Amino acid sequence: MEPTRNSSSSTERTSGKKTVVSSASAKPNGKSIVVSSASAKPNGKSIASSATAMTPSAHASVGTANPMNPEATTGLSSAHRDQVMLFRDVSLGPQEAELRFRLIHLWEARNPNTKILIGQEMLLIDEEVCFQFFTYFGTVIQGFVPAGRVGTFDLSAGSVYKLTNFFGSRSKIQYRVADHSATVSFSWNSSLSVFENPPVLFPVDRFRFHSYDEFRANCDSKGDLYDYVGHMKLVNGQTISEHMVLDEADIAEKRHLCVHVQALDGPVMKLYLWDQAASDFCQKFKSYGGTPSVLLVTTVNPKHLGGTLAITSMSSSRVFMDSDVQPSKDYLEWLNSNAEIANSVAAEVVTKPEAVTLEELFTYIKQETSKVAWFECTATIDDVVRGSPWYYISCGGCNSKAFKGHTSMICNNKKCWKTEITGVPQYLTKISVYDKSEQAVFVILGDAGKELSGKHAAELVATYFESNEGVGADHCVPIPQALLDTIGQTRKFIVKVSDHNFSGKTQTITVTKILPLAVALPATSEEPGASSGFGNSAGDRARKAAEILEADEAKRCKSG
């Protein structure tokens, strides 16, 4: 559900936001028309200042793309009968008029906590085309099909439809993907049909780009979702290279990937792609003969992650690369002509946390003006702290701590939607470390534990229970050798200074990431494809560990 325009006087907002509209439709002579345009901010600093601004020749191509064709003008006016309503005229309440539009994109809307389906959301663009600075604009609005009616309508992205009888509902405030104040909601008596051979142009897509400064200004606001286009610097820490291969097994397991991106000669920032967007990225990345350079992601959410600005994908996000759409093509043309400028900023310099000694870290914690922050510390592991478990059992759905119920595991997170869960061991390991200035205790959580030992906690727990079949579920697995073998290693830790450090409740420092050892392992130590096989093995072992724990717990409960 998204905002768009409110009245017949509504047009694209002129608040400095950049909108790029692409349209492709068949002229009577059978030739295809492709139009891209953008409105630029006066200062011209943002990449979103437009795709066409990057390629001066684009103005000429747009100018000749039927801007003054009498046939197009006649077709537009004749198509708008009294019963046909433009999106700009959609208001709140029930409507009986006919809408004509192209369906740009559709996606599921689910409750973020319960994951229950709320409905199907859509991005729609109508047939309105306005001659303005050699640009055709179609008005964009968000559509919505309630959960109970999902599947009732045959919807396909890219198709053109006619809709009668709908309800104009108020657009949501958070995470909007269009500028209209109303949303076209499909109601009980809505009638939808494919619009065959439309006599007028229907734009094929619409993009709203934000610059780095605009994303930073709207960070954590949960407001409108805008689009990003730039070039890739790193993918999951790997430098973009000609023969780059993605670790799809690892991406699928973590359900996300991180791309360092840069727009024009601006700052580098992190772009996190989740779930479907991550999967789409992998598929598109592989589909190119060579390694793609340009990345365009729609409807991203700016957030502070790791103490710095980052943008993350949403369920509505789409992923495009080099030659997929006109704005990415235009950016690629600029990139090829300005390679020296594009490569002038090093991703490592912009995104790397500040390196500090342990003494400097504790000094920062004691300062009254200190805030939550991330740092890089190089330290030597002195020991793995005994006396407390090195792992905990988490909910397989949300990773929160799980506890034992009467017959099964129960998640401790009240917002978790799972009623019956599978317990999965996760790292909760304390290590004592030192450098030349100070000593400290670090706590290793989640993926950081695997980065330290090379093995998942679930795999280590499963291995122990397989070797010790007589032990019960209450038995605490001793510290595994894989962790003890790290004693004496000097590693680089990315640590988070949190509120509990400032309150004085604990001086234990949380580790969020552990960088690889400075000396790389021999190339022959791992066969090709080992990462994929290991991922599957770890998953099987995790399930087996959970089954052993649950089976033993059930036996214990039955025996009283």
| SS3 of residue 545 by DSSP | helix
State residue 551's pLDDT score.
43
CB 218 within 8 A of CB 302: yes
Cα angle 115-120-126, degrees, rounded to a multiple of 5 = 150
State residue 415's pLDDT score.
62
The model's pLDDT over 71-116, given as tens digits with 9 standing for 90+, comes to: 333 333 333 445 788 898 899 999 999 999 999 999 999 988 888 9
In angstroms, how far is the first alpha carbon of the chain from the final one?
A: 53
List 11's β-bridge partners, or say none: none
Which DSSP category does 84 fall into?
A: B
Burial of 164 (0-12, 13-18, 19+ CB in 10 A): middle
Q: What are the helix (H) ranges across 311-397?
A: 326-337, 339-342, 347-351, 358-366
State residue 64's pLDDT score.
30
| SS3 of residue 484 by DSSP | helix
Amino acid at 366: K
State residue 60's pLDDT score.
30
State residue 28's pLDDT score.
32
| SS3 of residue 244 by DSSP | coil
Tens-level pLDDT at each residue, the chain (560 residues): 433 333 333 334 334 455 665 544 333 333 333 334 333 333 333 333 333 333 333 333 333 333 223 333 333 333 344 578 889 889 999 999 999 999 999 999 998 888 899 999 999 999 865 555 544 467 899 999 999 999 999 999 999 999 999 999 999 888 889 989 899 999 999 999 999 988 888 888 989 999 888 888 888 888 889 999 999 988 887 777 767 778 888 888 888 899 999 988 678 889 999 999 999 999 999 888 778 999 999 999 998 876 678 999 999 999 999 999 999 999 999 998 887 766 665 544 455 577 899 999 998 888 877 777 788 899 999 999 988 889 888 877 666 777 777 667 777 666 665 666 778 888 999 999 999 989 999 999 888 888 899 999 889 988 888 888 877 767 788 999 999 999 999 999 989 888 888 887 777 899 988 887 654 333 333 333 333 333 344 444 444 444 444 444 443 333 33
Phi and psi torsions of 463, nearest 5°: -60, -40
Phi and psi torsions of 216, nearest 5°: -65, -40
State residue 276's pLDDT score.
93
Q: How many CB atoms lie within 10 A of CB 88?
A: 18
Tokens 């049909």 belong to 193
State residue 439's pLDDT score.
94
Q: How many CB atoms lie within 10 A of CB 378?
A: 17
Rounded to whole angstroms, the Cα distance separating 203 from 23 reads 3
Question: What are the distances in angstroms from CA 220 to CA 46, 67, 106, 211?
Answer: 20, 41, 25, 16
Amino acid at 117: L
Full-model pTM: 0.57
Amino acid at 358: L
Helix (H) or strand (E) holding 233: strand 226-235
State residue 75's pLDDT score.
37
State residue 304's pLDDT score.
82
